[in-house]
Chains A and B, each alone.
Chain A
Amino acid sequence: DIQMTQSPSSLSASVGDRVTITCQASQVINNYLNWFQHKPGKAPKLLIYDASILEAGVSSRFSGSGSGTDFTFTISSLQPEDIATYYCQYYDSLLIFGGGTKVEIK
């Protein structure tokens, strides 16, 4: 079975900082990767699909890159409203989530 290893599990950064989250697959998954934002009590929100394509209406400060087994999610300038847990998700015949990264403001 494919495993998705997401790191770090949590981070604390200042407003305006560049934030990077990585997701590593245990085998090649091509670009079958989404990134979601999840705020407490809210529905998770799709930010990036197919590893690097920004979902319509999502702020351009969010971006994704990578292919094969290694993927990166970046917030170019952290804002207070970005406080959330972020998940990578592999999708094919099943869905596999990374463990999540809780992002906090320093």
Chain B
Amino acid sequence: EVQLVESGGGLVKPGGSLRLSCAASGLTLSEAWMSWVRQAPGKGLEWIGHIRSEADGGTTDYAAPVKGRFTISRDDSKNTLYLQMNSLKTEDTGVYYCMTGYWGQGTQVTVSS
């Protein structure tokens, strides 16, 4: 059974940083295209970015609102996906999910002064 467990969310001030983790079991992350998706309060799902599988080059793509501020990476030895978020804005508030067909339960990020 595939399980994805996100962690690392919390309350941070505008301009601050946060690193989210997504620990996987039942799935080898390096063999999958992994995405981060978020949901702002009262809004729909928004794709943030992804990292390609190792076989497809392991490169990343990002949505325009986060490009240059967010970085997706992967630690194959820990089978864990990361989302480094810098220069956070209030509009980055929401629940953050890692996914690849399967989804985690999400972790709450709140950006507020």
Residues of A at under 8 Å CB distance from B?
34, 36, 38, 42-46, 49, 85, 87, 89, 93-100
Contact = CB atoms under 8 A, between A and B. Distances in A.
Interface residues of B, number: 18
5 contacts: A34-B101, A44-B97, A95-B50, A97-B37, A97-B44
A34 B99 CA distance: 13
A99 B105 contact: no
B35 A95 contact: yes
Given A38-B45, A95-B35, A100-B44, A46 B102 contact: yes
A43 B106 contact: yes
Given A43-B97, A44-B97, A95 B47 contact: yes
A97 B45 contact: yes
Nearest to A42: B105
A101 to B, nearest CB: 10
B76 interface: no
Interface of B: 4, 35, 37, 44-47, 50, 61, 63, 97, 99, 101-106
Nearest to B104: A43
A95 B50 CA distance: 9
Contact of A97 (B4, B47, B102, B106): B47
A49 B99 CA distance: 14
Contacts of A95: 35, 37, 47, 50
B101 A94 contact: no
Nearest to B61: A94
Most buried by A among B46, B50, B101: B101
B27 to A, nearest CB: 14
